[in-house]
Structures are given as structure tokens and as C-alpha cells.
A and B are shown apart, each in its own frame.
Chain A
């Protein structure tokens, strides 16, 4: 049950787009379309932003989008806003009734 690999940091200026990657294996990310993304502001609980690779829950701005290619999933934030500055975590079903998270990416809005 190894953690998924995310870059520790990412950044962009307001209005720009930024993409955060999440790399796993064929046993997790590549094997199932059950990748989700979470946003966490300091001292707060995580918030679901994307589920099932690319689906946005009600209330999540359409500036947030998800995709997957092979063993790598991606979260793209378009039209960056100051409030998007947070930690982002990916997660995937890893088979045998287990779930795995990525190490997290700190997104900075310059």
C-alpha cells in the first residue's frame, strides 16, 4: 500500500492554470477509474473536489477538472484565484478493499 506520488509544490499567478500530477501503478490509479482529489486549507478538514477521475461534486467550481492517462492522474485548476491556495491530495482505490492517498501538493498562488 505505497502512497501515490505527487510533486511537493506547484504555483501559478492569478488567472493562470496549473496542473498537479498523481502517479501510481496499474494496481491503483491505472487499474480503476476511482481517483479523487481533495483540497485542504491549513487547519481545516479536506474537501472533495473531484471524484471518479473527472466528476465534480455539486458546488465545486468548474475551474477544477480532473483527468487520467495510464498510471497518472491530474488535477487542473484554471483561472487561479487566491482562495485556491491550499494543499491538494489525490486518492485512488487500490484493490483488495483498500485506499491510498498521495503525499500532497502545496499550491501557491503567486
Chain B
């Protein structure tokens, strides 16, 4: 069974940094693209970033370019999202998801990031 478990969320001040982690199991992690998708409280889903199988290709939504960095460690079956210069609009539940079929077919339960002023 595929399991994705996010961690690292919490309360951070505006301008601060946070690193999210996603531990994957039940899949051959190194053979899949992976994504981060976020959902602001009471709002819809927003794709944030994704990364290819070996970490050499990374893509971001415009609003986080230059501030967020997606990475992975295939030896540890883990996905990461380093978030710097955080803003109020970054407040959201952040989901880790597996990319497949030109979609996201497995999702974690999410981790909440709250950016305070």
C-alpha cells in the first residue's frame, strides 16, 4: 500500500523559513515524479512544485519561484520542500503527492503551515 506522510509544518513568522518532509513507502520511490500541492484554509487546491525521478528537473508555480526549493533523497524515500521568505498567502495545508498518469494519484494527509505577521 502506498503511504505518503508529511511532516515539518507549523507556525512561522512572516519572512521566516520552514522545511517540509514527505516520507514515502509502499512504492519504488525513485521511479516516480513527485509533487507538492497546497490548499489555503477554506480554499481550493494549488499545485506548487514537482520534481523528476532523479531530482534533475524541478518546476514551480510562479508565486513561489525563487523562494521555495523542492528536492528528494531517493536513498531515504523522502521528498522535501524548503520554504524561505514565507508570506501570509503561503498559509495552507501542504500535500505531498505521487505523479502518475499526468495527474496526482496518491496523496498524503497533509501538513499545516501557518505564517503569522
The interface of chain A, by Cβ under 8 A from chain B, is 1, 3, 34, 36, 38, 40, 44-48, 51-52, 55, 57, 89, 91, 93, 97-104
Contact = CB atoms under 8 A, between A and B. Distances in A.
Nearest to A57: B105
B102 A93 contact: yes
A98 B59 contact: yes
Interface residues of B, number: 23
A46 B103 contact: no
Given A46-B104, A48-B103, A91-B103, A1 B61 contact: yes
Interface of B: 35, 37, 44-47, 50, 57, 59, 61-62, 95, 100-110
Contacts of A34: 102-103
B60 to A, nearest CB: 8
A14 B103 CA distance: 29
Given A45-B107, A52-B101, A91 B95 contact: no
A89 B45 contact: yes
Contacts of A44: 109
A93 B50 CA distance: 12
